[in-house]
Amino acid sequence: MSFKVNGRTVEVDADPDAPLLYVLRNDLDFKGSRFGCGTGHCGACTVLIDGHAVQSCTTPLWSVSSAPNPEILTIEGLIADPIGALVREAFLDEQAAQCGYCINGIIVSVTALLKRIPNPSQAEILEALSRHLCRCGSHVRILRAVDSAIRMLTP
């Protein structure tokens, strides 16, 4: 199966029913997407597929490879994405990560949101973050980082 990851076409020989997360981490060595709950409820494994935030632990490989020219963007690929790089910078500036386990998925989801809606409402931000669990309690800094990214995007 072949598809694009972070702008590069890759080929994998994996079980079509394997979770995309396992293929990204084990076969392609993209370790930034984390295994959290394995049921799509914590958000640690979030990647962008064709611009949409998706929990990769519950996304079977066949569903990605069956789409025409699918493009996957992981946390590693955000540095080359203008909005992703801006979001990453805002999170670093606000020191929004504490343990760092969940933050990669959160940054990916915020990037997806800001690509769709450059100036989202508070409700839209909370909705985009609703599939993420952060046990460290850095929620206030995360929201500050999102607001900072929005200010950088909108004049």
Q: Is 85 helix (H, G, I), strand (E, B) or coil?
A: helix
Average pLDDT of span 58-83? 91
pLDDT value at residue 66: 72
Average pLDDT of span 16-37? 95
User: Within this chain, do residues 99 and 143 fall inside the same structural domain, yes or no?
Assistant: yes
Q: Which of 59, 36, 38, 43 is nearest to 130 (CA)?
A: 43
Confidence label for 92 from pLDDT (cuts 50, 70 and 90): very high
Using the 3D structure, point to which of 33, 57, 75 is the last residue of a domain.
Answer: 75
Average pLDDT of span 91-118? 93
Q: How far apart (Å, rounded) are the C-alpha atoms in residues 138 and 18?
A: 32
User: Within this chain, do residues 83 and 71 fall inside the same structural domain, yes or no?
Assistant: no
Using the 3D structure, point to which of 75, 108, 133 is the last residue of a domain.
Answer: 75
User: Within this chain, do residues 99 and 55 fall inside the same structural domain, yes or no?
Assistant: no
Identify the domain containing residue 22 by its residue range: 2-75
Average pLDDT of span 11-40? 95
User: Within this chain, do residues 127 and 81 fall inside the same structural domain, yes or no?
Assistant: yes
The whole-model pTM stands at 0.93
User: Within this chain, do residues 133 and 149 fall inside the same structural domain, yes or no?
Assistant: yes
How many structural domains are present in the chain?
A: 2
Average pLDDT of span 9-28? 96
